[in-house]
Structure 1
Amino acid sequence: MAIPSIQSAILLSFLVLFLGPNLQTAKLCSCSDDHKVGNCHSIERLALLDFKKGVEDPSNRLSSWRLENEDCCKWHGVGCNNVTGYVEELDLNTIKNTTQAAELSGGISPALAQLKHLKYLDLSHNAFGGIPNQFIGSVKELRYLDLSWNYFDGRISQQLGNLSHLHHLDLSYSRVSIQELQFLSHLTSLEYLGLSGSDLSETGESLQYINRLHSLSELHLSFCKLSSFPLMTNFTTTLSVLDLSGNNFGGFFFKAILNFIALQSLDLSATEIQGPIPKAIAQKTSLRTLRLGGNDLTGHIPDVLANFTSLECLGLHDNHLEGPIPLSFGAFCKLKELSLARNNISGEITEFVNGLSSCRPNSLLEILDLGDTKLTGNIPYSIGNLKSLRRLYLYQTSMNGTIPKSLGQLSELEALDLSLNAWDGELTEDHFANLANLIDLHISFDEKPPEPLFFNLSSNWVCPFTELFHLDLTNCQLGPPFPSWLRNLNRLGDIVLENVGISDKIPNWFPKIYPSLRVLDLSNNQISGKVPLELRNGLKSTEMGMLNLRGNLFSGTIPLNINETMPNLEFLTLSNNLIEGSIPSSICNLNRLRAVSLSSNNLSGELPQECWKDLQFLEIIHLSNNHLSGKVPISIWSTPQLSILSLSENGFSGNLPPNLKTVGPLRVIDLGENSLSGNLPMWMGKRLPQLEILRLRSNSFSGFIHEHHCLLHSLRILDLAHNGLSGTIPHCFGNFSGMATVDPTDPFFISMVSIEGIDLRRSSEDFEDQVNVWITKGIEREYNGTLEFLKCIDLSHNAFSGEIPREITGLLGLSILNLSMNQLTGRIPEKIGSMQRLEVLDLSRNQLSGSIPPSISALNSLNHLNLSSNNLSGRIPSGNQLQTLPDPSIYAGNPGLCGAPLKDCATHPDIHRLNHEEDKEDWLPFFISMSIGFVVGFWSVCGSLLLNKSWRYAFFRFIDDMTIIPVCVAVKARSFRLGRNHNAQHA
């Protein structure tokens, strides 16, 4: 029995010598309940299963994590030590390890503390909540910890300091609260620190702990709300990557950073650096990445950057840099990314591109962003030699000419944006020959040029870019036939083919690509047929967020099942078509609907009455120019987010609700050209503080404008013309501060709304295009594209009386003032000339009198004036702008007026009488006030004397005493004259 004991001793010695630290684990395994299946320990398997219970996994990524699948080392994202079997790695990074998988969410179970040997933990890019403080300080063997891009809520524990072996710590954009950084003092081995997106503004002096990380090579503190930073001296020789973007350091910090010896990547984007790029940067020739975008840099790009022969990424976008691209940039053969977008960069790109194209073996450039600059010239043919190019952005420059066919040789190209330039000629199949990797294609124009860019593609052409997702060819020329090359693009998400000259029906093959679409914009073409054709076939598009078929020839009715076929629709625009029938109530079941525009069709019937208030996200309702009738639904006013309500040019009748407790945040109400009646509701002034446009013209409203309506301080357009309103114009019109400002305000209805970056302004263009303003003589003028400048008051064709309130001249931003066809009296306000922005002034067909104020000649913007059919008199003022309005009819019906363009005042038969009457009219108020003052003063004194006896006696005694004064004066004067005569005789 001794031999086995000796053998056991030898075996134990062998285990101590070779297993070392793992011996304790081996002992635990042998004497505890823990057991292994394959390489997996049961304690750790149960801990992982407990973690899974609290996780929501919509993509079923953790399907392999099952109790019956006992070997947890084979589970997704789990890595074990091959010898000991302990879990050393847990990697559930959504982006890195999965393809199109949904994020994991839920809480992080403290059972993970059982993973005592865990060295690598990556839970980044998920949606975990809570805060993992209960176990985070217990896993002391961790070398790598990444919790970035999650939704943690709470303060991070200082127990992080227990992880003394940690080399990599990333908490960026995890929403953890960090108020103290003392835990960093224990992480002496830390090489990577990422706290980007964390609010470090309250950390104060504890920022100094970062300076103690002697081994640090990467520091990421972007968007941390920092305005200062401690002087870093301890890792000037180790730090190679520094990202401080999105903070407010200013230029003083720039030069200090240049002292870092090993620095290879520097990101100071959006840190409010001002002035020219310092030439001292020439010392950092080791830099491979330099990002200075989003600052206030000025001047030229310095030539010293030519020394950066190892430069791989240069980001100078969103500054105020000017001048040409340095020719030396053409020698940057290692350059992978260059962004100079949104600067004042000018000149051509030919020599720069030619330089890169001569790199041997090839240029490495992958991203070239020169959009929104002042570049000129054309795209050089040598662009086709940049074989590595993946993204090319040349949008909104001054470039022109034809697009070279060599673009078709960029086989790696994924994104191409040439929008908003002056291209001409045509695009052929050669332009797209090898673009098999293309995902984004944008070649659009603001307006269709006289000779639009023509897509000359054969009907049987099979396009190579079958993975295309974004397509925007607005204002190019693709038609008349519907482009057949779209039929193989089954992955398309966004199609914008606005005004591309299509005169055709939607082909039968189109439904094949329909279900994957998020955005479909075929507006302003000549497409005919039933609308929408695909919906009638029962096809369901769960991704569709925007459908814009505006300005075509579609007919038929709106499908009753629209809520089933497009359940996630946000923007529905079918205006300017031939659609008929009623609006189905199913439209109120589109729970995500934000804008609906069905204007200028043949729709009829009544609106659904009770459902509108349930549309929680609806912002725009535009149903004008149809044949709708009945009452305006009361529920429509209580739609929670409603901003624009346009129901004009229909047959709506009845009164507006007199009282409403809740009203949406309305900014536009357009109910013009209907048959509505009753008084103007008082609640409009009280409950609509954000209202900017109120248009109720051509209805049958009656009653008065109340002072409560003057509470609409934000009002820019008030149009109540062609109604039966009466009473006086309130003096409180001067409270319309939205009309008093001179600077134009940005129109809210041109808001940039988007679905994942796609511009969806089209949903509100209908309203902008069709705001009609009556000017004079029944002629209607449309304001297109300048609605943000328009500020208007139109009260014409009513029964208003009294004077024009002088407070109205304080509305200095007013563009149009139309008070014609009323019963106004009195004079034109003297300060009318202070309204410098007035373009239209119509006071015709009233009972105004007196002279035209001379200040009217100061209205330099005036292009329409009508003062006819009043009782005005005197000389017509002269002025530069008035001379451009020579039509005598604008003064007709005022027999007392003279001067150009009417008869000369010298030859006017009644000019002297008129001047005399005008003088009498001018002096009349003075004489009236003087008479009233005399009467009041006389009877104030004499009446008191008649009524009070003691006052009367005292008054007359005072008069008697006062008579002595003139007598004494007279005696003295006589004595003086006699004395003077006597002296004269003796002399």
Structure 2
Amino acid sequence: MAIDSILSAILLSFLVLFLGPYLQTAKLCSCSDDHKIGNCHSFERLALLDFKKGVEDPSNMLSSWRLDNEDCCKWHGVGCSNVTGYVEELHLNTTWDTTQATRLSGGISPALAQLKHLKYLDLRGNALDSIPDQFIGSVKELRYLDLSGNYFEGRIPQQLGNLSHLHHLGLSYNRFSIQELQFLSHLTSLEYLGLSRSDLSKTGESLQYINRLHSLSELHLFGCQLPSFPLMTNFTTTLSVLDLSDNNFGGFFFKAILNFTALQSLDLSGNEIQGPIPKAIAQKTSLKTLRLGGNDLTGPIPDVLANLTSLECLGLEFNHLEGPIPLSFGAFCKLKELALSRNNISGEITEFVNGISLCRPNSLLEILDLEQTKLTGNIPYSIGNLKSLRELFLQQTSMNGTIPKSLGQLSELEWLDLSLNAWDGELTEDHFANLANLIFLIISFDEKPPKPLFFNLSSNWVCPFTKLSYLDLTNCQLGPFFPSWIRNLNRLGDIMLENVGISDKIPNWFPKIYPSLQALDLSNNQIRGKLPLELRNGLKFTEMDMLNLRGNLFSGTIPLNINETMPNLSHVSLSNNLIEGSIPSSICNLKLLEVVSLSSNNLSGELPQECWKDLQFLEVIDLSNNHLSGKVPISIWSAPGLSILSLSKNGFSGNLPPNLKTMGLLRVIDLGENSFSGNLPMWMGKRLPQLEILRLRSNSFSGFIHEHHCLLHSLRILDLAHNGLSGTIPHCFGNFSGMATVHPTDPFISSFGINNHEFVEQLNVWITKGIELEYNGTLAFLKCIDLSHNAFSGEIPTEITGLLGLSILNLSMNHLTGRIPEKIGSMQRLEVLDLSRNQLSGSIPQAFPL
């Protein structure tokens, strides 16, 4: 009996030990409100459905979450225990490049608190905006919680401190404003902490709680507005990844960092760190990633960095480093990324490329970024040995010579940018032979060189890079025929072929190949034929955002249905062509329109009237040099966001209406060579504070210049010539501070950057005696006053001589009297001075001082 008792006890213990979980589950499942279908508990299924009910799911991520699909353990993103059936994991993250319109949005349902056994919750990259406290306080079994990349804001729930089993906590890239980190004191098992893009500027001594996380191996504090470098004395043996980038510490703190024995990844970029790179960093031989970009580092790159033999990524971009790439860098056989762009790095890349190409079995280098450096010489032939290279950036250096054919052997290459260098010779089919993975191809010049880079490709060549989405060959030589080799590149989203020597028609197959085209620039060629806007067979460029066909020989009319063929157009430039007819009202149905440039054509008739008021994003209107007539619609004068309005060289008439008061963002008004009349409104100085160019020449304006007009402090070009203005020139002209400075006051004028679209303003200036000059890219340097051919009287105000930036001053053909100001010789930048046909006395210096 004693033996039987012992055996019974052993058997009972065995049953309790191994069947206990099942017995507990059976007890739970016996409750009236719970039953299992498959592996799924009904109360957890209802909690998940309540979560789904509270969110928007435009991409149908949760389409399998349905009542008729009863086994919730088989739903998308749900993971259950194979033993108990309880939900233990939710994987509902999206990738960072997913558009906002396809993410989960809304709030986290409090019903998720029913998931008592949840251990893993990943909601990264969505658009969720609220976390119920009762949920966070209830799921105490969580080991992994990542809410990064959502729209959570306000305070971080202190109930996070209840999750004592957490190993991973990701809260980065939300809208949290954090003043207290005490909740971290309870997370003693934490190995990963991500708080990037959280405002920690007011946490003060609360940062010490991070230092108490003795198990921490990864810490991400990118862009947290930290007031100083946090002390990290307890991470010497555990921390392997440290990201403190974009915090503007302004000092070097390598002594503390050198104590971290396990450190493999260090990112201190964007912290205004000054001085040379400490050689002591070479002692951290365990480093695989070192990022110091976006600082104020100076001096040469230490040769001893080559001691970091485990290094896979070295980022030193956006600094002030100088000298050559150390020869020892050729031994970086584990290196995958080297970024030295935006530095003063000089010399050639030949030795580095030759060295790293000898790595066995092959170089691992994937990214080589040497953009905007002072590198010289040519691309070495050995570049073809870098078989793993995916991205090559050599734009805007001082490199030159011919491009080697070995470039065509880089079969993994996805991004190639060789723009803004002094390349010569030709590119053949061999240069692209194996570039089947190419997505971005940019070989452009800022202006056409005397001997442009020539693309010597046969008309029947089938190019291999069918994945290409972006093509920019600006100022190369592709013509005279339209390049037929792009015909099979049906993934192209952007085509930039400005000034490439095409004197052909756009082929009929073109619109059929690129229905998803987003940007098309064929400007400054000699392309002829009808505008390629009237698409046959119902084809549409529904994704088209930018269309630039200026400077060609296109004829025909603007199609009436432009809003249907290109409904998302925001930038359209058809200037300098042979287009005729009227401007259709359908152009005002382009609701996203920002820039419309139709200058230098044969357009005629009156402008559409009321439709302009609907263009809420309109910033640029250039209709100059046409045959348009009538009054300018009030709806144009009411566009609040307009920056540039150019209507010169037409037949417009009427007065400047009071609606102009609402256009406070105007920087350019060019109404020259029309039939406008009336007085100059006195309110212009107060209501148009940003105005830089006011050109009203050759109209019928009358009245006088009031002192209120001198409130246009930003004014740099004032052209009121050939009108009927009278009175005296105000002494307050000295208040035009935009004309007083010698240097360009604002790069906006030379190349108008309108939401990533470039709009180059042309301005014709009559300098004197019938001589007219066209200012284009140099417009930022032009500062001019032209009041000629009016009826101004009185003396020339001496204050005008204080406008030291003036390059043109024309006061001829008026009734000015008195002496020529003696200080006029101090206007060092003056290139044109015309005071003729007045009643002035005194002398003009024979030579102005240089």
1:120 aligns with 2:124: no
Does the Cα contact within 8 Å between 2:191 and 2:215 map onto a contact in 1? yes
Say which of 767, 775, 780 aligns to 2:772. Answer: 780
TM alignment of 1:856-935, pairs within 5 A: 856=845, 859-860=848-849
Match of 1:595 in 2: 595
Structure 1 or 2: more helix by fraction: 1
Does the Cα contact within 8 Å between 1:133 and 1:156 map onto a contact in 2? no
1:837 aligns with 2:829: yes
Q: Which amino acid aligns with 1:239?
A: L
Q: Which amino acid aligns with 1:822?
A: N
Match of 1:717 in 2: 717
**CA separation of 1:562 and 1:99: change in aligned 2, threshold 3 A:** closer
Higher mean C-alpha deviation, range 9-18 or range 343-352: 9-18
Partners of 1:263 and 1:295 lie apart in 2 by 21
Partners of 1:750 and 1:54 lie apart in 2 by 51
1:793 aligns with 2:785: yes
State the superposition RMSD in angstroms: 2.1
Q: Which amino acid aligns with 1:852?
A: S
Say which of 833, 852, 857 aligns to 2:843. Answer: 852
Match of 1:805 in 2: 797
Match of 2:3 in 1: none
Q: Which amino acid aligns with 1:786?
A: T
Q: Which amino acid aligns with 1:826?
A: G
Does the Cα contact within 8 Å between 1:472 and 1:495 map onto a contact in 2? yes
**CA separation of 1:8 and 1:729: change in aligned 2, threshold 3 A:** farther
Q: Which amino acid aligns with 1:323?
A: G
Partners of 1:392 and 1:737 lie apart in 2 by 45
Partners of 1:11 and 1:700 lie apart in 2 by 111
Partners of 1:521 and 1:462 lie apart in 2 by 23
Partners of 1:662 and 1:97 lie apart in 2 by 39
Q: Which amino acid aligns with 1:760?
A: H
Q: Which amino acid aligns with 2:123?
A: L
Per-residue CA deviation, residues 31-90 of structure 1 (Å, 9 max, x unaligned), is 241111111111111111111112222222221111111111111111111111111111
Q: Secondary structure at the match of 1:448?
A: coil
Match of 2:613 in 1: 613
Q: Which amino acid aligns with 1:842?
A: D
1:574 aligns with 2:574: yes
Partners of 2:57 and 2:386 lie apart in 1 by 43
Match of 2:445 in 1: 445
Per-residue CA deviation, residues 189-227 of structure 1 (Å, 9 max, x unaligned), is 000111011110001110010000000001110111113
Match of 2:164 in 1: 164
Task: Give the superposition deviation at 1:629.
Answer: 0.3
Q: Which amino acid aligns with 2:848?
A: L
1:526 aligns with 2:526: yes
Partners of 1:360 and 1:197 lie apart in 2 by 41
Match of 1:67 in 2: 67
Partners of 1:275 and 1:161 lie apart in 2 by 41
Higher mean C-alpha deviation, range 36-45 or range 337-346: 36-45
Match of 2:472 in 1: 472
Match of 1:881 in 2: none
Does the Cα contact within 8 Å between 1:414 and 1:438 map onto a contact in 2? yes
Partners of 1:96 and 1:617 lie apart in 2 by 28
Q: Which amino acid aligns with 1:860?
A: P
Match of 2:4 in 1: none
Partners of 1:659 and 1:476 lie apart in 2 by 46
Does the Cα contact within 8 Å between 1:650 and 1:673 map onto a contact in 2? yes
Task: Give the superposition deviation at 1:832.
Answer: 1.5
Per-residue CA deviation, residues 606-650 of structure 1 (Å, 9 max, x unaligned), is 111212222111100000000000001122121121000000000
Q: Which amino acid aligns with 1:247?
A: N
1:760 aligns with 2:757: yes
Partners of 1:360 and 1:574 lie apart in 2 by 54
Does the Cα contact within 8 Å between 1:535 and 1:562 map onto a contact in 2? no
1:824 aligns with 2:821: no
Task: Give the superposition deviation at 1:513.
Answer: 2.6
Task: Give the superposition deviation at 1:335.
Answer: 0.3
Q: Which amino acid aligns with 1:441?
A: L
Q: Secondary structure at the match of 1:748?
A: coil
Match of 2:482 in 1: 482
Partners of 1:25 and 1:742 lie apart in 2 by 83
Does the Cα contact within 8 Å between 1:299 and 1:321 map onto a contact in 2? yes
Q: Secondary structure at the match of 1:826?
A: strand
Partners of 2:257 and 2:379 lie apart in 1 by 38
Per-residue CA deviation, residues 348-375 of structure 1 (Å, 9 max, x unaligned), is 1111111111111000000000111111
Does the Cα contact within 8 Å between 1:427 and 1:456 map onto a contact in 2? yes
Per-residue CA deviation, residues 242-298 of structure 1 (Å, 9 max, x unaligned), is 000001222332332122111111101011111111111121111111000111111
Does the Cα contact within 8 Å between 2:529 and 2:553 map onto a contact in 1? yes
Does the Cα contact within 8 Å between 1:460 and 1:484 map onto a contact in 2? yes
Q: Secondary structure at the match of 2:641?
A: coil
TM alignment of 1:229-628, pairs within 5 A: 229-535=229-535, 538-628=538-628
Does the Cα contact within 8 Å between 1:427 and 1:453 map onto a contact in 2? yes
Does the Cα contact within 8 Å between 1:741 and 1:811 map onto a contact in 2? yes
Partners of 1:15 and 1:799 lie apart in 2 by 112
Partners of 1:683 and 1:752 lie apart in 2 by 26
Give unpaired runs (5+ residues) of structure 1. 1-6, 862-987
Task: Give the superposition deviation at 1:12.
Answer: 7.9
Does the Cα contact within 8 Å between 1:659 and 1:683 map onto a contact in 2? no
Partners of 2:37 and 2:753 lie apart in 1 by 55
Higher mean C-alpha deviation, range 674-683 or range 177-186: 674-683
Partners of 2:341 and 2:752 lie apart in 1 by 20
Give unpaired runs (5+ residues) of structure 2. 1-6
Q: Which amino acid aligns with 2:326?
A: P
Match of 1:925 in 2: none
Q: Secondary structure at the match of 2:228?
A: coil
Partners of 1:313 and 1:469 lie apart in 2 by 27
TM-score with structure 2 setting the length: 0.96
Q: Secondary structure at the match of 1:611?
A: helix
Q: Secondary structure at the match of 1:579?
A: strand
Does the Cα contact within 8 Å between 1:322 and 1:345 map onto a contact in 2? yes
Task: Give the superposition deviation at 1:443.
Answer: 0.3
Partners of 2:168 and 2:140 lie apart in 1 by 13
Partners of 2:539 and 2:492 lie apart in 1 by 16
Q: Which amino acid aligns with 1:386?
A: L
Match of 2:630 in 1: 630
**CA separation of 1:349 and 1:415: change in aligned 2, threshold 3 A:** same
Does the Cα contact within 8 Å between 1:130 and 1:154 map onto a contact in 2? no
Higher mean C-alpha deviation, range 582-591 or range 255-264: 255-264
Q: Secondary structure at the match of 1:106?
A: strand
Does the Cα contact within 8 Å between 1:542 and 1:566 map onto a contact in 2? yes
Does the Cα contact within 8 Å between 2:511 and 2:535 map onto a contact in 1? no
Partners of 2:806 and 2:134 lie apart in 1 by 64
Match of 1:148 in 2: 148
Does the Cα contact within 8 Å between 1:271 and 1:295 map onto a contact in 2? yes
Partners of 1:536 and 1:696 lie apart in 2 by 43
Does the Cα contact within 8 Å between 2:169 and 2:194 map onto a contact in 1? yes
Task: Give the superposition deviation at 1:455.
Answer: 0.9
TM-score with structure 1 setting the length: 0.83
Larger radius of gyration between Structure 1 and Structure 2: 1
Task: Give the superposition deviation at 1:661.
Answer: 5.2
